[in-house]
Structure 1
């Protein structure tokens, strides 16, 4: 399949023009007020951004350089900037859950998505990951996205064209099941990277092994431990890939205000697991990593190793247990007595304990 992109010398990086210069009609602009609240609007001649504290005319923003601070009709100030990729992804229309920026960044880096690479992905969802992959492969690259649901493909197409200012020359979308369609539309060994975001990536193992070039990277994004385990074991059993590696990323922001420097109370913790493996050459047998033997059943020795004495816990005497039991049963009774009578009862209990 021919590369759909022209040479870099003929065309500048796609979408670069829309990221520079003064604001133009049709652009999305991020408005931030003095309390840090952000709103994203699409500039329309004659339009206005309304709040309970007045309104800001779009015509006031159009033609201004990025980073301008403008007042609305009541003097409320707004900072105007073009949304960053992370801002756009979290605010764009979505039909399915998006791949968070922290995971998309890991996929691009750990998947080694390079300029000019030939990449296939499934499924597209709302197009968040597709945008990051297109930025990484560039105009001279190739991204073939597979999606089962036509409505998701349409949403993704709209989001991609919004952020790039039009159709991306390196992007192609196909409808259908990945494991069937990719074998029809891609030549064996012609793909550099495979990125899967789906429920059962292990079902695509043969398809991935067929289209992925030797040394190519297969990276999976899964949500649960069960998916992670099953995919890893399927890759190990297949023998055509290197030992799989898995991880997750967590991002925690920090509050910065004078000397009040501390972690934010909220963080983006678990969103999904990432698992990678690389395609071996045809005929090669993957190395079996040496591991300590593991057991699924407990032996008598294992059970004896977890007694209280074995883990250093002090043995409690019967005498102490009796005292604690008496204390527990008489606490309410003592609390209901006058102080002098309660003290007398405690002394009597001590004498009884000495006798025993």
Structure 2
């Protein structure tokens, strides 16, 4: 599938996609442009993200704001709608984007993505593979970490999820990322077929049964390389840890979860927020040992055992995964692709108008 192969923007100006529009770092600088996503904050602190489209307006129960008033404005401007309601306009941060982008599956929350990048030691230029792509939230963070000179190969079993992820990645980066390759199929089969043994620096798995990938991970991961697992339940965490210990080719796994609690700040009324982002998933990290080396046999008080009855209950529904309808997936894929296409069409029309005699470029 040609769209799933690694995309390299060769022969173009740095910071400019094949369509001529800014991408990457260049897309994050300068005035607001047509087709760009902008985060509006009203006077009560409520935020909404819109895609700038000439000739259209953002409507609320308190009037409307023409998109044309925002196009060309400097980031951080404050604008007024038709009834003098003020809005603060900024480009959405990564954390804002992943929570508002089209999705077919639950996204990896920013707090967990940050932990994966840091505790997994994902660095610029690293060669990384990941599996379950979902809606592409973690892929975006990994691509930012490895940079244009790095390499991220993502594996996804469902084509609908791959389409959604591709649209979201191209939206935030302004086009295909030069370090990204996405493939369809089961990770444990495809990764050993497509990646050379010992050629990968980091492996990140967000899937139902990561213990099934032990051999595949051990094959492609370089000695000293880091394997990060993101799982939802305690039972998944336990079985993955015991499988890693029994395998002997990895270090003793470390596991944790993170919780984020905001604070209310208003004069002397400084207190914790009533709401917090608590459990979203468990993270587990282990490292590949050298070939032929057996890991240290750390003393444990008890050894976990899993009965046949336990193993028969490993289904998505049993561990709390919510089923996603095909209709919702198709709609999310269309939304993600539409955002990219709208931006490209607007840019193409503006470039054509600039080059046409009598257009804006001749005034």
Normalising by structure 2, what TM-score?
Answer: 0.78
CA contact (8 A) 2:143 2:180 kept: yes
Q: How does 1:276-295 map to 2 (within 5 A)?
A: 276-291=285-300, 293-294=301-302
1:163/1:18 Cα in 2 relative to 1: closer, same or farther (>3 Å)? same
CA contact (8 A) 2:258 2:278 kept: yes
Q: Which secondary structure state, in structure 2, belongs to the residue aligned with residue 16 of structure 1?
A: helix
Deviation digits for residues 71-108 of structure 1 (CA, Å, limit 9, x no counterpart): 00000000000000000000000000000000000000
Structure number with greater Rg is 1
1:295/1:235 Cα in 2 relative to 1: closer, same or farther (>3 Å)? closer
Deviation digits for residues 37-61 of structure 1 (CA, Å, limit 9, x no counterpart): 1110000010100011110000000
1:213 to 191, 210, 222: 222
Q: How does 1:127-276 map to 2 (within 5 A)?
A: 127-276=136-285
Structure 2, unpaired ranges of 5+: 1-5, 17-22, 305-363
CA contact (8 A) 2:169 2:176 kept: yes
CA contact (8 A) 2:131 2:205 kept: yes
Larger deviation, residues 202-211 vs 13-22: 13-22
Structure 2 residue 117 is matched with structure 1 residue 115: no
> Hey, what's the Cα distance between the residues in 2 that align with 1:179 and 1:276?
19
Structure 2 residue 30 is matched with structure 1 residue 21: yes
> Hey, what's the Cα distance between the residues in 2 that align with 1:286 and 1:111?
20
Structure 1, unpaired ranges of 5+: 297-356
**Equivalences, count:** 292
CA contact (8 A) 2:200 2:225 kept: yes
Normalising by structure 1, what TM-score?
Answer: 0.80
CA contact (8 A) 2:7 2:176 kept: no
> Hey, what's the Cα distance between the residues in 2 that align with 1:295 and 1:184?
34
> Hey, what's the Cα distance between the residues in 2 that align with 1:267 and 1:170?
35
> Hey, what's the Cα distance between the residues in 2 that align with 1:295 and 1:18?
53
1:149: Cα distance to partner? 0.2
Q: Which has the higher contact order (CA 8 A, sep 6+)?
A: 2
